Structure 1
Amino acid sequence: DPTDPDLPERNPNNHNGYDTAYLWEEVWNTESVLDILEHFIREVEERDENGKKTGKKLLFPRYHQLDAVRRLVLHARSNPTGESYLVQHSAGSGKSNTIGWLAYYLATLYDDEDRRLFDSIIVITDRRVLDQQLQETIRQFEQVKGVVSTISGRKAKGLSEALSENKDIIVVTVQTFPHAIHEIAKRPGNRFAVIIDEAHSSQTGASARSVREVLSPKTLEEAEYHEEPDIDDEDLVNSQIEQYLKTTQRPKNISFFAFTATPKQKTLELFGRRNRMGEFEAFHLYSMHQAIAENFILDVLANYTTFKVYFNLLKKIEDDPMYPRRKATALLRSYVDLHEHAINKKCEIILDHFSNEVMHRIGGQAKAMIVTRSRLHAVRYKRTLDRLIREDHLPFKALVAFSGEVLDPDLQGKFTEGGMNGFPDRQTADEFKRPENRLLVVANKYQTGFDQPLLHTMYVDKKLSGVAAVQTLSRLNRIHPQKSDTMVLDFANDAQEIERSFAPYYEKTLLEEPTDPNRLYDLQYQLDQAAIYTADDVEAFGNEYFAEKGRQEMLLTIIRPVVENYTHLEKEDRETFKKALRQFVNLYAFLSQIITFQDVALEKYYQFARYLQKALPKENERLPVDVIENIDMDSYRIQETSSGRVMINADGTLKQPDEKPLHPLPEEKVPLSEIIQYINENFGTDFTNEDKIAYFADDMEKRLIDNTTLRQTFNPEINSRENVRIAFNNFFEETLVEMLSTNKEIFKKINDDEAFARLFKDYMFNRIYVQIVAGTG
């Protein structure tokens, strides 16, 4: 709406002339046009969706790209090397081109003494898909061969040679960047510009986390619990930068240019600058709000539908054990969401919605992504979708994306992305471009750095918040000539949660106040009070750690007795200590990038604490599994609860998170029956017989298919269909008795109503026979 003052479709009011006067006064003036011709206009190759060259075109900058590069160049030329610049540009705003233009412009800058301002421009990116895109963009800008050097993997020799030869632009991956740090440190007389694609501060401040080990959870609930929390891909790059800054304390021969769409608090403090109000903000801003208004990206919240899961729980035991109310309530709700029936029901909704509402969009090319909460969930979703697609003869396929190898405990089989898709996982992104591959099931993969304009709809079955929510949903915002809107169907979040996640990044992101360094000493004092180590332990560890020939086994010798003392603490004290230790390590790792600590003892303590944190044993903080064993689902329903546009109140201020108490209050324990009643009252509804029968049938199907003897009986090479049916009746009756506690109402209906029993038994036989004989069960 052009009349809405909150939407920037119009140019700012010009009280001294036309609102478009900036075009001829600023962009079209002689000096500006010559600058555009020299530094911005480029002839680039065009490619189709299969990567084949289709011709060439002239590339012009958008206004925000032109403005950003010029402001950065002007400030870099007017100020000494050693500055940090944060550029907050919305996803889909052409960031790769902006980085390319900036890199080439910086490579041509000279100071007043006619010396190059920067000896080399180092471009860092960690996302493999975007890394290829960024390298291609920079190479296409190359007018003279040899200006750009690309160093991949861990080729330290090639990097050293490129720096020694003062190559203009050097593109490195996160794997190569540790070598870049080492090489830069050896050249204090040289000046460098480091351009970081998607800057975010790491969660630990230490070196990047190693690759996640293969987990073998026994249930879907355990799969979600054990799934490691999301780590921004960008954090892997910044962890190395933070480590470097920690040892060098803001070197004066390096200027950092960090690009991000979603700056975190730490990122603002690390790369941002204070405004007149004392708040940290980006050097240059092109907001999501403005990008949507100018039609450079689509509004992913315009068509947003949330589903609330309604369910009832049935207690299976006669006695009434006591459990902590909050934890038991959360665990029981999780049980419902993770139940096999829930995945089946959600897959049915997804396929129905995609077939009827989505696949005909974007000229019949629309695709969708399904975001799951764990790798095991992704495996189950993929198998269920494949079965339903076959049964309904749908004209498309589903692919899956997850890392490593996953053991499905129910099937006792191991699954990989490549094995389930039928091609190597490095080909998944390209294979998803094929017209028959319409659905992509993901688990912590392709949720950032994935650019597919045909992606129209997202089905979310995972809790999302903050940066992760913005980055994940923003996969939909890429424009396409035939794409006019997007859709989100969310099974796990509500509209208010998503609004809170997007609000800080919708306009300008600010950080109100810096972190208080004195908090470090408060935490150290609290840790000392546990009395599981002495000052001599810390001193001995620090001396060994910083010794030129320090030995790992000596560090372990010092730490082992401390860990032993930790295990003798009361459970509540262990929790308190571990929480304070984690807060200390994270806070020191971050603050050391901002201020220079003169306290050598504190640095020794940090290394001691960091090592101790890794050595402490993990504790199983989940409730006993008997909470789940003592209940069963009565019925299950997913109902649409909110649909339409999610409205953003764009208050871009980020506050420092409130400190959580180190000593949690003891939790009230209540009977299991009371917890179940509370859940049913708050999340239940009036279920129809259809809902209950559907769940009962799904539950019985799983029990029957899991029966090894029944599966052998159903072998068509041994028994005819008629003989199988006779045997099935016995299996059916045995399973029905087992399910008496699940739903007495349906059990009684089958026993008392012969006509209903006959229909239900026929239905179950046909359902089981098709699955086992057809090989889909």
Structure 2
Amino acid sequence: MIAAFTEHHSVQKRIIDYASQIGWQPLSQAETENLRHFDTSATLPSERAKNSCLFLKDILLQKVIEFNPKYTEKDNDFLSKLKNLRSDIQGNKDFLQFLRGEKTFFCSEENREYNLKLIDFDDHTNNIYHISEEYYFHNGRFGNREDIVFFINGIPIIVIECKNSTKDEALAIGLDQIRRYHKETPEMLIPQQIFTITEAIGFLYGVTWNTNRKNLFNWKSTEDGEEIGNLESKVKTFFDIKRVLAFLKKYIVFVEKDEELNKYILRQHQVEAVEKVVTRALDNQKSRGLVWHTQGSGKTFTIIKSAELLFKQPEADKPTIILLIDRNELEDQMIRNLRSLGIQNVAHANSIAAMRDLLKEDYRGLIVSMIHKFNDMPPNINTRKNIYVLVDEAHRTTSGDLGNYLMAAIPNATLIGFTGTPIDKTAYGRGTFKTFGIDDPNGYLHKYSISDSINDGTTLPLYYSLAPNELRVPEDILEKEFLKLAEAEGVSDIEELNKILEKAVQTRHFLKGKRRINKIAEFVAKHYQTYVENLGYKAFLVGVDREACALYKKALDKYLPTEYSQVVYTAAHNDNEELKQYHLNKEEEKTIRKNFAKSGTLPKILIVTEKLLTGYDAPVLYAMYLDKPMRDHALLQAIARVNRPYEDEEGKKKPFGLVIDFIGIFDKLEKALAFDSDDVKSVIKDLVLLKDLFKKDFENIAPKYLGLIKPPYTDKEVDKLIEHFKSKSKRKEFFKFYKEVEMLYEIISPDAFLRPYIENYKLLTQIYYIVRNAYAKHIYVDKEFQRKTIDLVKENVDIENLEMTTDAYELDANTIELIKKGKKPDNVKVINLVKTLGKYAEKHSGDLVLISLKEKAQEIQENYENRIITTQTALEQLEALIKEALGQEDEKKSKGFDDLTFFFSVKLTEYGFKNSDSIAKSFKESFKKHPHWQQSEADTRELRQEMYLTILSVTDDIEKAKKIIDDLFNILLKANE
């Protein structure tokens, strides 16, 4: 027999081998449990683990004493402190502070506190590095076993969940298990900081206490990051000891968002940029740098971490670091984030005078401010060299006189610019390169382009569709009042854009025409309900100014429930009554922002003109109805609101962001986005391309599947499909293709374009359902299909009849002969036998013996599909299982046993006990005495002890007795999950 790919042999064991080659010492499970002080005399796994330590206790104590000469155990019990940390994200943050040496211990001799050192980050050779598998923990209610854990100085730091590469959705299953650990045994996740998931093909990483799929990243062990597989390279680069220490010391961050503590890890492009920024800042020869990271790729964290690490560099010699933010609303947020990182020396220069005084008085620390605070600043106010200015949105922040004032005031400072948009070809763009890019041949210190971001899944592609021609701004007016204006080129500040639009009288008059507003509101309402709401997403409606927003709200309320939409704009004291009715106080706006970002809550549409078009992050936002002339950076920043990845609870992913253009700006794409053509192509594409893709799929690929069967579609055609798709690789290829086509259909529909394809799409959907129903353990139609496809199929196809494609027979003495004599292909017979056993097991769900039979049947099917056994062997093995099931049912009836007693009898017979029936009856009596064993640990302990003593009364083999009890309870617990 050919050995199958297994999770342990093909993945878990290989990781341990590769990690041991780069300095991690392997420990066996037994060695690890010994070092954790497991109670080896206990019979219950939870009892053995009950008083054990999360850490390799002796090793940790040894390193604590070695690293902290003033530490004495009589004055300190730091293990109790660690054990008593909260089992939530706050406890995890506190533990990371312990790891980083930010917590203290008390020295009674000197009557003072010292920082407690657990890891030597300066000399990595002083630490001890271990790797172990099957790390078990029980909290009294739940027990979990992690596949692989990495330890530093006896502390569990990183967990790996390993999956079998032959399983469908292996990585998703791995993530679900990581989530289960958090839910059931959060205590074991207090010290663990990072998790990874791999099936030897992909390699995902993230931080504990953040299991959101969008914060789980692909690890790239090569520069192009294109490799699939290459587990050895990924393990050896990710778990490089210096890299792991850097993750722990520098690149895990805790920040508050919407009053909740969140945890993140910087991605590879962020880490690379931070390290280059720090290196450039300390370079005596160069004093400029430009970091170009596309919108939505985590630029804010890159800036914050650059500032933090630069401030802590001894070579910086107590520097001044100025963070120039481009929006008022972000200043307070930036200060909170900096302080949450433990940086206390943070000043807020909220006025010109405050900035002047801080520089004049030679303040050392971080200063958060805006470029406007340098207005009229005296030259040479501080000529020190170790002043570092990190400029957010550098493509506009330092343009004009304000940039000149900044550079004259601190002439020897190092300036590092950060931009989220491609560098444009206008004077603004050239100015950005000139200001920040002079010290680098390519003009930038580090680049993470839109294409990079889309390839990595950090952001999504953007598609646009032009609104009907009669609703768009007349081309001559748009050209004259906006596109041809030199001052509109390269504008990235929406306030500047608004000033230009105030002069565009004809454009604004057209945009706010009463009939047009009403028509667009009707269009938006219909489009939202037809194309957006059905997919479960939300939308922005962008008006030219605040008055337009108010007008749109009134018009939209005619076509949608009033609670569907909300207006969000800045209030002014002299606003008229029409504008005042949509004023919001801070708390109201905060609630709207929060609720909009959640799926399934109101509001569903936000009507905006300036607020929320930069910086606001709501991944559930899918569509933007754009009715405001915009271009270049301002346009790119606005439409980037819809490019954030999103995945719902059922695992359905947002495919891209959609912009519906009521201006006609995308009809002049080269003028609208004055960037290099390659960057423009990466930014946004015409929705027509999706129709082209759908057409190509149906003309080039679909025929090979549609041609597998011919009308009339009888059971014989169904059998052909089942036979054709018995290969797992063929099924994977087809499922992937179908899901792509289905998503395109959902987005495009309803559209006259689809009319010629509907019949074939319905047939393709039926083929998909037949194959899924034949081979899946369970099939849930509503979850398998997108919403519009469900409607199409239910209207046109009696899909329930398709369940007859494979048959689950009633299991009796005639079943085998009935299936054998049938005219179905052997492949279908295998599937029918597996389903028959599964149905029988479900019908007798209380019969624990049948659980193993069902699992054996599924294992036979897996081996058959993976070509480990032949069709004939599979049929013979399944026939033997059916005979076994029927025989056991007869035996149970003849003995008069209930399900539990019979289960014990069968298992004890397998263990070699001749008097298994009497032992089983004794076990049953013990269970009667402890009916609440699943809820009470004390009852479980007593029940196990009774069963253990019963077995010892007939055997002297203590180890065998322990193993039997463990096996029986594992099956019982699994059956009750």
Q: TM-score, normalised by structure 2?
A: 0.39
Q: Calculate the TM-score normalised by the size of structure 1.
A: 0.48
Q: Which has the higher helix share?
A: 2
Q: Which has the higher contact order (CA 8 A, sep 6+)?
A: 1
